[in-house]
């Protein structure tokens, strides 16, 4: 129970990787603020955490709306661990990328984490402790046709991770990122078996990850076990192949 007495906010905790992170943080004793848009999914995650003996509450917010992001920060209160996980990924060649999808990627994957860090890190500094983990993607580091907008929004998040780590290193706040490879989540559930097989073949291990495997790395970086680690992007991607 190394996280008891700490409060963790996990964005996009109603599904997939974020849900697995929320469950594992609660298991380690943190009080978890489960964020998402869907109250039904939110209630289910809170119930699962409580059934395991943990403590959680749900806050609904649409992170593409800056005012909603700030309301989330306000309602979450004092946060010791911030996991910027909510994100979208739409894969399209540039010629087919719309302005709306461009804005969606930047607002959700880059600007929302920026606003949350700006709102919540000062409290961490005041209390002299804090840990932030941003969920990026392997696609930010490798070149794949069609992932341009998604990769760019996460590459920006990785750069911010390193800048924030430098800004807060001497103030008791660590900032890191995890870059998952392909992972089985509701977001990837609608891909057909052939596509998933093709994606799995891009990893050295030849399989996609379970969300719990990504969560283990996120929780490690969030915890004091990673007390001397800041500014890293930890790839959790089953090994790279070829020139990737």
Ligand X SMILES: NC(=O)c1ccc[n+]([C@@H]2O[C@H](COP(=O)([O-])OP(=O)(O)OC[C@H]3O[C@@H](n4cnc5c(N)ncnc54)[C@H](OP(=O)(O)O)[C@@H]3O)[C@@H](O)[C@H]2O)c1
Residues that bind ligand X (CB under 6 A): 12, 14-18, 36-38, 41, 62-64, 85-89, 108, 135, 137, 180, 182-183, 185-188
Nearer to ligand X, 61 or 165 (CB): 61
Q: At what angle do helices 148-168 and 112-127 cross, to 10 degrees?
A: 20
Q: Which of 89, 114, 150, 168 is catalytic?
A: 150
In angstroms, give the least distance from the CB of 20 to ligand X.
8
Measured in degrees and rounded to the nearest 5, phi and psi for residue 226 equal -105, 30
Nearer to ligand X, 125 or 196 (CB): 196
Nearer to ligand X, 80 or 107 (CB): 107
- The verdict on whether 150 is a catalytic residue reads yes
Strand partners, 56: 32
CA dist 46 and 130 (Å) reads 23
In angstroms, give the least distance from the CB of 171 to ligand X.
26
Nearer to ligand X, 6 or 135 (CB): 135
Nearer to ligand X, 129 or 240 (CB): 240
3-state secondary structure of 97: coil
Long-range contacts of 145-148 (CB under 8 A, 24+ apart): 145/93, 146/91, 146/92, 146/93, 147/89, 147/91, 148/93, 148/94, 148/97
Task: Output b/e per residue, 72-87; b: 16+ Cβ within 10 A.
Answer: bbeebeebbbbbbbbb
CA dist 9 and 116 (Å) reads 10
In angstroms, give the least distance from the CB of 212 to ligand X.
11
In angstroms, give the least distance from the CB of 164 to ligand X.
17
In angstroms, give the least distance from the CB of 222 to ligand X.
15
Catalytic residues: 150
């Amino acid at each position: 129970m190394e996280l008891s007495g700490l409060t963790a906010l996990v964005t996009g905790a109603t599904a997939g990787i974020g849900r697995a992170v929320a469950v594992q943080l609660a298991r380690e004793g943190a009080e978890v603020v489960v964020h998402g848009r869907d109250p039904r999914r939110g209630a289910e995650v809170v119930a699962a955490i409580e059934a395991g003996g943990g403590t959680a509450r749900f806050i609904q917010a649409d992170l593409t709306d800056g005012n909603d992001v700030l309301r989330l920060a306000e309602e979450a209160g004092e946060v010791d661990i911030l996991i910027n996980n909510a994100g979208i990924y739409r894969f399209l060649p540039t010629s087919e990328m719309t302005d709306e999808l461009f804005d969606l990627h930047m607002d959700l994957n880059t600007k929302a984490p920026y606003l949350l860090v700006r709102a919540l890190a000062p409290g961490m500094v005041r209390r002299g402790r804090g840990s932030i983990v941003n969920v990026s993607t392997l696609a930010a580091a490798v070149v794949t046709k069609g992932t341009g907008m998604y990769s760019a929004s996460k590459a920006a998040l990785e750069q911010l991770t390193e800048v924030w780590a430098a800004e807060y290193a001497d103030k008791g706040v660590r900032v890191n990122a995890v870059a998952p490879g392909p992972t089985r989540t509701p977001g990837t559930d609608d891909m057909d078996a052939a596509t998933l097989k093709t994606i799995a073949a891009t990893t050295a291990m030849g399989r996609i990850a379970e969300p719990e495997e990504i969560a283990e790395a996120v929780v490690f970086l969030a915890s004091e076990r990673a007390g001397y680690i800041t500014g890293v992007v930890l790839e959790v991607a089953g090994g790279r192949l070829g020139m990737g």
